[in-house]
Structure 1
Amino acid sequence: MTSAAVRLVVLVPAVAALVGLALARRDDVRLPRAVAVGASLLSVLAALLEVVAVHGSTRVTVVHTMPGLDAGELRVPLQLQATAATALIALVVAVVGWAVQAFAGWYLREDDRYGIFAATVSLFTAGMLLVVQSADLVLTLVGWEVMGWCSYLLIGHWSRKESARRAALKAFLVTRLADVGFVLGVVILAAGAGSTAYPQVLQVWAGSDCRDAGLCAAPNATLRTAAMVLLVIGVLGKSGMVPFHDWLPDAMEGPTPASALIHAATMVAAGTFVLAQLFDVLAVSDGARWLLALSAAVTMVYAAVLAFGQSDLKRLLAYSTLSQVALMLSALAVAPAHEGPGAGVLHLYSHAFFKALLFLAIGWLSVTVGGTAAATMRGGLRGHLFIRPAMFVGLLALAGVPPLVGFVSKEHVLAAAGAGAADGQVRAWVVLVAGLLTVALTAAYCMRAWLVLDDLAAADIARHEADTAGAPVRAAVTILAILTVVGGLVVLTPLLHLGGHVGWLMAVLSVLLLVGAGLAIRSLARGTDPAVRVVGARMSLFDNGFGVDRLYVHYVARPVVALAHLVVFLDREVVDAYVRGAAAAARLGGTGGQHAHRAERAASGLAWVVAGVVAVALAGVVLW
């Protein structure tokens, strides 16, 4: 049952993408919607079967997909795997994928390209599920690249808008640049292990001497660090960490369901799970962990500051994603080797629920108030008895209020950082201080968002339409809200190996920071948007990400364009010159031959041919 469930988890959304694409041109969206939503439900059922099958087991079940490949000395087995952690995260991705498909069927019901959107979401989900279930670096790379391509399509779905086209291209180019590192890291790990299978890669590179197994010699520490640094660079790009962060807020140009999928449980979180799978190698690669820790620490604070000052609440959620993904990655950067990657994976699990809930709720609300700008949404929750509690629960979880799922996972991340600090890791202290500061900043922007959305003085209840979303949308939001409330109970199950325990001192300190920051922002409100009072005229600077986009244009884009022009010049005027020269010489020779063999000289030409044949015959006789 386990093998069948693992295969179905990946295959069902992939097949749904193909079928949905074939149906995408239909005027009636009911059939494409039924395929997308129905297939996502089947994926949830398959993932649930996998969780049941592996629950309580500590062994790894290897699942064959197709015959492996032999490329010289390199073995590519192309296998999937089922463990407690992969099953749990696959279930999370499948649930979020279903919620997004259910919501998109209503949100984009009048979009003439809905069928293409739904098919792309299915393919995107299949790519993430392949990354989660993969036991092979090549399959991981395939899923990784599928998500990159699909993110470009989803962000640029409204391609009639120039801003959407620019955001999609920006996301594609930035992540492509970082992916060069990811591919090179995969190549080094695979070449050193002689296999792309995770077990062999971990055995060879995690520090053990595997000569007794006849596989390899002890790993080269410098090469190992280089490989993991390259992988971390790829992860930083896909996750939107500094210095690759600016593409992710711009991705808000895509439809809200696409934002929910990209930000909650797929591409930006994929790197966390890949590094968790390779944690034993990462744990002995000090340089890679330093790079990851510094980028994560800077990103979590920087993005939280930017989130507070955003004039658009959807972009506020985008910057909160950067900050929360940085928390996930920071746990992998500083957790002691014996504790493992459980804290980071737990926050991945937690973040998927409350962030998907927030994006769907903000998208639902935007339909009724006409936009996502803070000024437009001010007081917008009043009169919405269904969306209001969902948004309230989501913001509380994002802020880390106990006992919601966000509190449980954040405290495990802080506990991992505390354990690393106790072991004498300097980088763990950096992450711990940044994490505690981020707790206060997160509380501040969550309180600000709630005060804006629930402002009674600004509410115009009469302007709100009745909640027109159908039963599937209500079911999706309700289930995400329930999971946000009770999802923390997963720590009581054997599905995740958390290694250590919650540091209660850190928990108390973070709650105090949370309450203090929340009360401070509440006191600043005084009937207006707290960000307006704090940030004031500088809000446009926050909206522009402190001008990082201009820095990209001047110091990255322009040099790259200049380099591209140079490459084109060398290709056309130098490399192709030889080809054009050979073609010109051949053309000249042909023209000369044509003139030499004009029709009026045919007879003399024939005579020369006969003479040549006779000469060859005579030479043959003499030499014989």
Structure 2
Amino acid sequence: MSWVVRAIVALPAIAALAGLLTRRQRALSAAVAVAASAVVTLLALVEWIIPARTADIGTLGRLPLGDLSVPLRLLSDRLSGLSAFVVAVVVLAIHVFTTWYLRDDPRYARFAATVSLFASGMLLVVQSGDLVLTLVGWEVMGWCSWLLIGHDSERHAARRAAYKAFLVTRVADIGMVVGIVSLSVRARSTDLMTVLSAPGNHTLLTIGLVGVVIGVAGKSGLVPFHDWLPDAMEGPTPASALIHAATMVAAGTYVIARLFPLYAEHDGARTLLAVLTAVTMVYAALLALAQTDLKRMLAYSTLSQVAIMLSALAAAPAELGPGAGVGHLIAHAFFKALLFLGAGWLSVLAGATAIVALRGRLRPTGALRWSMGIGLAALAGVPPLVGFFSKDTVIDAALEGATSGGGPRTWLVVVALFVTVVLTAAYCTRAWLLLDTPVAAAGASGQPQSQPAVVAEEEVAVVTSTDSADDAEVERVHAHGHPTITLSAALVVSVLAALTVVGVLFLLSLRGAVHVGILSTLLSVLLIAGAAYAVWSLSDRGRVDAAERIPAPVRDSAVRGFGADTAYVAFGRAVTATARLVVALDRDVVDAYPRAAAVVARAAGRAGERGHRAVPSLSVLSLLVGAVLVAILGVTAWR
């Protein structure tokens, strides 16, 4: 089993290198990426099916760091096996879909190699039994996300989004580094099992757990680090699916799940996590409801769903373990990858990602239509799809934590979860009605036309130039037309839809991942049905956009994220101004005294130099000659 675990981490990295070496041969680089992903998927399946709990799988050997033990070992158990398998399945699906989606992109090989390296980073986090290896995988994903988001680097918007993601997550990663260092110093080791069992020093434990929460908040897009994730839609759709589904934004859930025994005994860190997740899930769901672009709507839904995962770890009782949060991570991987790849397929058909341009485009698409329907239903939590079981397990875990003395933080999570259930059902219903209902031009009778209407070309041109998140796809479609999807890419979407239906079978192998309460389920289903009916009524049975009922100033502000980007820019300028002030103070105040002393000494030296003629006087010469004669006479007389 040891070689299997090592291969799961190493093969994608090797495939990334091989993809770069073969970048001039597109077919070969695609074959390398897909084949390596397929092999990793099979190996991860073996690790998951064959139970083997071991935390002593060596890699490069120990690092010599004095009293600090750094064994650099990998870990294999049921949780890592299932998580690695889900990650590998999603990465394989993305690789296959990308061969069609970036069919005309001359930089396809670089993109595929970056995806492979990204997968290696996530799999290292999943298989890591050492906090140093966890941090390495964590940072590899951050660097690769910058490359993937900025793939279309000729566009200013893509470059800006990439740098924004990089800077925001790097700022939050300061907390992650401080947290890992604190936990390691406390345990005198970076070994995960040693860290979990180490006693003592509550202060270092607090710093460590809070620091990890801050780092996770950055990567997972929790408020106030949330605004980079919607902007990341500037990257190609497969990159969005990779970042949002089972890798970067979900990595924080996995890390905290591994550290759950420590969090379960620390109310302060769990309270911070509960507040951040409660605010994020409601806030992001509200923003998703108002979006005018499909990819940005899915991005905000990711923020909300990741907050739901993490809320389970903030509210669940210690005896339940992290199963509820990890279960929703796995379910989210299936239906969110499905929705993003389906959105990519649909955007190719329409040449845009703006909802106005996509209006009614699902109706004639067959497999894509029912796949997107399944994905949106799973996101909304409709039974019996995997999203229903995972979401209601989180709700039940939070309720159990609240009723067993969890305190105000658990009740805050419970209330936020039920509010989010309503909002999620609302924006999923809105999206389905808009994508599946043709534009209805009312006639004299006031009845909608029976034939799907096509959005006017002028209107689509205006919309796609202002509202589309992935402008590069718009350009690709305008340049190359609307190509027919390949069988393999269509099959990928269908397989993900099937996994979304039967995904609960994957969750059954994890303790606590499926635990649905009767009362919470009934209330959840009623809330979903009520929200769906309300949106259906407000949209006049799908004939108009329900979001148009929101006052225009509020909706426009919501589409722009309520000015979060402006706040980021203001914060950046404040930091830059502060740095310049510090430099000025250091140069003109702190260094002024040493520089002044040097100037005074130099001026005095020059003044003395000017006052001296540089010619010896007669008296000085006479004195020197006399001194020499006296010395000679004295020596002679002494003899």
TM-score, normalised relative to structure 2: 0.85
Q: Supply the distance in 2 between the matched residues of 1:90 and 1:577 (Cα, whole angstroms).
A: 59
2:31 is matched with which residue? 34
2:268 is matched with which residue? 287
Q: In the TM superposition, what is the alpha-carbon distance from 1:402 to its structure 2 partner?
A: 0.5
Q: Supply the distance in 1 between the matched residues of 2:300 and 2:425 (Cα, whole angstroms).
A: 14
1:616 is matched with which residue? none
Matches within 5 A, 1:9-20: 9-20=8-19
Residue 450 (1) aligns with residue 450 (2): no
Alignment RMSD (CA, Å)? 2.5
Matches within 5 A, 1:232-251: 232-251=213-232
The answer as to whether partners of 2:327 and 2:514 remain within 8 angstroms in 1 is no
Q: In the TM superposition, what is the alpha-carbon distance from 1:221 to its structure 2 partner?
A: 2.1
1:506-537, Cα deviation, whole Å (9 max, x unpaired): 11101100000001100111211111233545
Matches within 5 A, 1:233-272: 233-272=214-253
Q: Supply the distance in 1 between the matched residues of 2:265 and 2:377 (Cα, whole angstroms).
A: 36
Change in Cα spacing, 1:122 to 1:403, as seen in structure 2 (3 Å) is same
Q: Supply the distance in 2 between the matched residues of 1:17 and 1:567 (Cα, whole angstroms).
A: 43
**Which secondary structure state, in structure 1, belongs to the residue aligned with residue 47 of structure 2?**
helix
1:81 to 66, 72, 75: 75
Q: Supply the distance in 1 between the matched residues of 2:248 and 2:295 (Cα, whole angstroms).
A: 18
The answer as to whether partners of 2:385 and 2:501 remain within 8 angstroms in 1 is yes
Q: Supply the distance in 1 between the matched residues of 2:179 and 2:47 (Cα, whole angstroms).
A: 30
1:437 is matched with which residue? 419
Change in Cα spacing, 1:479 to 1:579, as seen in structure 2 (3 Å) is farther
The answer as to whether partners of 1:225 and 1:286 remain within 8 angstroms in 2 is no
The answer as to whether partners of 2:327 and 2:513 remain within 8 angstroms in 1 is no
Equivalent position amino acid for 2:150 in 1: G
2:196 is matched with which residue? 202
Matches within 5 A, 1:334-373: 334-373=315-354
The answer as to whether partners of 1:418 and 1:503 remain within 8 angstroms in 2 is no
Q: In the TM superposition, what is the alpha-carbon distance from 1:505 to its structure 2 partner?
A: 0.8
**Which secondary structure state, in structure 2, belongs to the residue aligned with residue 403 of structure 1?**
coil
1:213-235, Cα deviation, whole Å (9 max, x unpaired): xxxxx412233112101110000
Identical-pair percentage: 58
Q: Supply the distance in 1 between the matched residues of 2:490 and 2:238 (Cα, whole angstroms).
A: 14
1:541 is matched with which residue? 557
Q: Supply the distance in 2 between the matched residues of 1:20 and 1:574 (Cα, whole angstroms).
A: 54
Equivalent position amino acid for 1:11 in 2: A
2:256 is matched with which residue? 275
2:633 is matched with which residue? none
2:48 is matched with which residue? 51
1:514 to 506, 521, 528: 528
The answer as to whether partners of 1:339 and 1:500 remain within 8 angstroms in 2 is no
The answer as to whether partners of 1:382 and 1:461 remain within 8 angstroms in 2 is no
Q: Supply the distance in 2 between the matched residues of 1:501 and 1:40 (Cα, whole angstroms).
A: 32
Q: Supply the distance in 2 between the matched residues of 1:14 and 1:407 (Cα, whole angstroms).
A: 35
Equivalent position amino acid for 2:267 in 1: D
Change in Cα spacing, 1:100 to 1:499, as seen in structure 2 (3 Å) is closer
The answer as to whether partners of 1:384 and 1:467 remain within 8 angstroms in 2 is no
Residue 22 (1) aligns with residue 24 (2): no
2:2 is matched with which residue? 3
The answer as to whether partners of 2:13 and 2:116 remain within 8 angstroms in 1 is yes
Change in Cα spacing, 1:500 to 1:474, as seen in structure 2 (3 Å) is closer
**Which secondary structure state, in structure 1, belongs to the residue aligned with residue 485 of structure 2?**
coil
Residue 303 (1) aligns with residue 284 (2): yes
Q: In the TM superposition, what is the alpha-carbon distance from 1:22 to its structure 2 partner?
A: 1.8
1:141 is matched with which residue? 135
Equivalent position amino acid for 1:533 in 2: R
Equivalent position amino acid for 1:314 in 2: K
1:93 is matched with which residue? 87
1:558 is matched with which residue? 573
Q: In the TM superposition, what is the alpha-carbon distance from 1:168 to its structure 2 partner?
A: 0.8
1:207 is matched with which residue? none
Q: In the TM superposition, what is the alpha-carbon distance from 1:20 to its structure 2 partner?
A: 1.0
Q: In the TM superposition, what is the alpha-carbon distance from 1:284 to its structure 2 partner?
A: 1.3
The answer as to whether partners of 2:360 and 2:434 remain within 8 angstroms in 1 is yes
Change in Cα spacing, 1:195 to 1:564, as seen in structure 2 (3 Å) is same
The answer as to whether partners of 2:277 and 2:307 remain within 8 angstroms in 1 is yes
Equivalent position amino acid for 2:274 in 1: A
Q: Supply the distance in 2 between the matched residues of 1:321 and 1:411 (Cα, whole angstroms).
A: 17
Q: Supply the distance in 2 between the matched residues of 1:144 and 1:566 (Cα, whole angstroms).
A: 33
The answer as to whether partners of 2:121 and 2:136 remain within 8 angstroms in 1 is yes
Q: Supply the distance in 2 between the matched residues of 1:571 and 1:42 (Cα, whole angstroms).
A: 57
Q: Supply the distance in 2 between the matched residues of 1:482 and 1:233 (Cα, whole angstroms).
A: 36
Q: Supply the distance in 1 between the matched residues of 2:335 and 2:274 (Cα, whole angstroms).
A: 24
The answer as to whether partners of 1:82 and 1:133 remain within 8 angstroms in 2 is yes
Equivalent position amino acid for 2:536 in 1: R
**Which secondary structure state, in structure 1, belongs to the residue aligned with residue 252 of structure 2?**
helix
Rg larger in 1 or in 2? 2
2:376 to 395, 400, 418: 395
Change in Cα spacing, 1:310 to 1:349, as seen in structure 2 (3 Å) is same
Change in Cα spacing, 1:382 to 1:51, as seen in structure 2 (3 Å) is same
1:126 is matched with which residue? 120
Matches within 5 A, 1:201-220: 201-204=195-198, 218-220=199-201
The answer as to whether partners of 2:326 and 2:513 remain within 8 angstroms in 1 is no
**Which secondary structure state, in structure 2, belongs to the residue aligned with residue 338 of structure 1?**
helix
1:114 to 104, 108, 122: 108
Aligned length: 565
Q: In the TM superposition, what is the alpha-carbon distance from 1:34 to its structure 2 partner?
A: 1.2
The answer as to whether partners of 1:378 and 1:454 remain within 8 angstroms in 2 is yes
2:545 to 526, 529, 533: 529
2:631 is matched with which residue? none
Which segment drifts farther, 423-432 or 221-230?
221-230
Which segment drifts farther, 73-82 or 545-554?
545-554
Change in Cα spacing, 1:577 to 1:269, as seen in structure 2 (3 Å) is farther
1:571-613, Cα deviation, whole Å (9 max, x unpaired): 77799999999x99xxxxxxxxxxxxxxxxxxxxxxxxxxxxx
Equivalent position amino acid for 1:485 in 2: V
The answer as to whether partners of 1:379 and 1:454 remain within 8 angstroms in 2 is yes
The answer as to whether partners of 1:182 and 1:230 remain within 8 angstroms in 2 is yes
Q: Supply the distance in 1 between the matched residues of 2:453 and 2:44 (Cα, whole angstroms).
A: 44
Q: Supply the distance in 2 between the matched residues of 1:34 and 1:397 (Cα, whole angstroms).
A: 32
Q: In the TM superposition, what is the alpha-carbon distance from 1:568 to its structure 2 partner?
A: 5.0
The answer as to whether partners of 1:383 and 1:461 remain within 8 angstroms in 2 is no
Q: Supply the distance in 2 between the matched residues of 1:80 and 1:461 (Cα, whole angstroms).
A: 55
Equivalent position amino acid for 2:106 in 1: D
Change in Cα spacing, 1:456 to 1:142, as seen in structure 2 (3 Å) is same
1:160 is matched with which residue? 154
Q: Supply the distance in 2 between the matched residues of 1:262 and 1:316 (Cα, whole angstroms).
A: 15
Q: In the TM superposition, what is the alpha-carbon distance from 1:348 to its structure 2 partner?
A: 0.4
The answer as to whether partners of 1:152 and 1:168 remain within 8 angstroms in 2 is yes
2:366 is matched with which residue? 385
Change in Cα spacing, 1:43 to 1:574, as seen in structure 2 (3 Å) is farther
Q: Supply the distance in 1 between the matched residues of 2:453 and 2:244 (Cα, whole angstroms).
A: 31
Q: Supply the distance in 2 between the matched residues of 1:249 and 1:262 (Cα, whole angstroms).
A: 11
1:65 is matched with which residue? 59
The answer as to whether partners of 1:309 and 1:535 remain within 8 angstroms in 2 is no
Q: Supply the distance in 1 between the matched residues of 2:167 and 2:208 (Cα, whole angstroms).
A: 22
The answer as to whether partners of 1:265 and 1:352 remain within 8 angstroms in 2 is yes
